[in-house]
Amino acid sequence: MAFKVKMAETAIRRDSRIILALDFPFQTPENRRELLRKALKVIEDTNPYVCAVKINHHLTLPLGTFEGVREIVERIHNKGLLAIMDAKVNDIGNTNQIIADYYLSAGFDCIIANPFVGWEEGLKPLFEVTKKSNKGVILLAYMSHKGATEGYGQTIIDPESGEKIPQYISFARKALKWDADGVVVGATVPNKIAEIKNTLGKQIAIYSPGIGAQGGAAETALKAGTNYLIVGREIVNAENPGQAAKSLNEMIRGA
> Could you give the C-alpha distances from 148 to 12, 144, 180, 218, 241, in angstroms and in order?
31, 7, 21, 20, 29
Find the catalytic residue in 38, 79, 88, 124: 88
Contact (Cβ atoms closer than 8 angstroms) between residue 148 and residue 142: yes
- Catalytic site includes residue 88: yes
| Residue type, position 184, single letter | V
DSSP label at residue 109: S
Task: In whole angstroms, give the CA distance from residue 239 to residue 163.
Answer: 50
Task: In whole angstroms, give the CA distance from residue 255 to residue 253.
Answer: 5
DSSP label at residue 143: -
Catalytic site positions: 88
